[in-house]
Amino acid sequence: MLNEPASAQFATEHFFRHESARLVATLVGQFGAQRLQWVEDVVQEALVRALQTWPYRGVPDNPAAWLTQTARHLALDQLRREQRWNEREEGISAEQARWMAVPVEAAAGDDAHLRDDTLRLMFVCCHPQLSAEAQIALALRTLCGLSPAEIAAAFVTSEAAISKRLVRARQRIRELALPFELPEAYELPQRLDAVLASLYLLFNEGYKASSGEHLVRSDLCHEAIRLTELLATHPATGLPQCHALLALMLLSASRLPARTDEAGGILRLHEQDRSLWDQSLIHRGIHHLQHSARGETLTEYHLEAGIAACHSTAANHAATDWPRILALYDQLMQLTSSPVVALNRAIAVGRVHGAQHGLEALAAVQGLEGYLSLHAARGTFAAELGQPQAATVHYRSALALATLPSERRFFERQIAACEAAAPALATN
């Protein structure tokens, strides 16, 4: 039985990223990492057929099984066209015959097997023989279904550069004949770093999109949470840093429903309706943050999760423990030279010691003149100091860098408010 065609677009969008990752992991488990590009092409074709079919025939009762069956037939057809099913490769035909014999409903719903395949694929994508940039790009493309354009936006580079990076990464995987397996225990921590970096970048792209119409892309956030949870709950990979990153994601995601108004306008932290914050995600985040404390190494994820916890557990904006947040940023600055961390620390300085001190701390931040948030913070502190003309200058700089419609509307409102305040101050 098929559902009404009107639901096809929603179902396709909902399943696209999750099913893409599931099918790629499943097929790579059957055919090997050396055929990654071929597998991705098969999966892409299966998803295209869903897009072509479901709007007219309706969404199947079991879309995952439909996609699995379609991918199976496409894979089989392509293997036959490549003349791979012959005497020279009898082994592959026997293995694929067993795979084709598994009922599609069972293959689509085998959570334990899928979890292991997905984890193995994570570590193939993030192998140390690949460059760090290639690892992250490949993981975002293969595991999470991001397009080259979306990855390019996250890396602040061109789509062509990302496409070339992906091609080289896949070629390198073929050359190395990488095994489809989890790393040995002794190499796991180092290998895990690249996987976590990919998931961190994915979550950030969802939390604050770098392109498109909307500020928030909750599908990317929840996909990052899903994959990080796979790592955190697996006996082999559930290390403290995984729990710390998962805590950071859950605590940050708890605020997603309140980050924009009904019209999609940006709401700053002090403007948000905290009754909309997801308490279940906050509780889960605190649980994983506590679990992460069992390790002996303090990571950036631990400290960022601690900062997120300070925000998420405050009863209201005035109750936010800014001194604690500033102390955590001070610790974070000892672990990283990131200018973005320095920017966020400067904002915390302003909240603890006042707007003037915040501006002075911002003046010391280097290398972010092309970063929207720096100018926004300058504008906020200037406005708080009763300097609307200076604030307007900073907000105009931020507006020039804004890429999202919601950002442009936000800064236009701030500029209008400052311009309205300037004459009033002049007459006093």
**Cα–Cα distance between 415 and 31 in angstroms, integer?**
57
Domain that holds residue 94: 1-109
Q: Residue 38: which residues within 8 A CB-CB, separation 6 or more?
A: 31, 78
Tally Cβ neighbours within 10 Å of residue 1.
5
**Structure tokens that stand for 12 in this block:** 């396709």
Is residue 312 in a domain?
yes
Is residue 116 in a domain?
yes
pLDDT-based confidence at 106, cuts 50/70/90? very low
Across the chain, mean pLDDT equals 85
On whether the pTM is more than 0.85, the answer is: no
Sign of the C-alpha dihedral, residues 221, 159, 43, 53?
positive
Boundary of a domain, candidates 300, 316, 332? 316
Sign of the C-alpha dihedral, residues 419, 421, 422, 426?
positive
Q: What is the pLDDT of residues 58-80, one digit of tens each?
A: 888 888 889 888 998 898 888 87
| DSSP letter, residue 267 | -
Asked whether residue 104 falls in the same domain as residue 116, the answer is no
Asked whether residue 123 falls in the same domain as residue 218, the answer is yes
- C-alpha distances out from residue 159 to 65, 146, 198, 210, 252, Å: 33, 12, 18, 14, 28
Is residue 206 in a domain?
yes
Place of tokens 């915390």: 348
Boundary of a domain, candidates 185, 208, 238? 238
pLDDT-based confidence at 10, cuts 50/70/90? very low
Asked whether residue 151 falls in the same domain as residue 103, the answer is no
Q: What is the pLDDT of residue 3?
A: 46
Asked whether residue 14 falls in the same domain as residue 93, the answer is yes
**Cα–Cα distance between 365 and 345 in angstroms, integer?**
10
Total domain count, the chain: 3
Is residue 162 in a domain?
yes
Residue 82 has pLDDT above 80, yes or no: no
**Cα–Cα distance between 379 and 397 in angstroms, integer?**
9
Inter-residue contact 307 to 329 (CB < 8 Å): yes
Boundary of a domain, candidates 53, 83, 109? 109
Asked whether residue 104 falls in the same domain as residue 182, the answer is no
Q: What is the pLDDT of residue 14?
A: 53
Is residue 20 in a domain?
yes
Most confident region among 106-110, 121-125, 133-137, 383-387 by mean pLDDT: 383-387
User: For residues 72 and 89, which has the higher predicted lDDT (pLDDT)?
Assistant: 72
Asked whether residue 102 falls in the same domain as residue 115, the answer is no
**Cα–Cα distance between 180 and 32 in angstroms, integer?**
7
Residue 111 has pLDDT above 60, yes or no: no
**Structure tokens that stand for 292 in this block:** 């992460």
Asked whether residue 231 falls in the same domain as residue 119, the answer is yes
Q: What is the pLDDT of residue 412?
A: 97
Place of tokens 């390198």: 172
Q: What is the pLDDT of residues 26-35, one digit of tens each?
A: 888 888 888 8
Asked whether residue 19 falls in the same domain as residue 40, the answer is yes
Q: What is the pLDDT of residues 161-194, one digit of tens each?
A: 999 999 999 999 989 888 877 788 788 877 888 8
Asked whether residue 72 falls in the same domain as residue 104, the answer is yes
Separation of CA 194 from chain center: 14
| DSSP letter, residue 157 | S
Q: What is the pLDDT of residue 198?
A: 84
Grouping H, G, I as helix, E, B as strand and the rest as coil, residue 75 is helix
Asked whether residue 226 falls in the same domain as residue 115, the answer is yes
Asked whether residue 21 falls in the same domain as residue 63, the answer is yes
Is residue 396 in a domain?
no
User: For residues 25 and 89, which has the higher predicted lDDT (pLDDT)?
Assistant: 25
Closest CA to 344 of 358, 324, 360, 323: 358
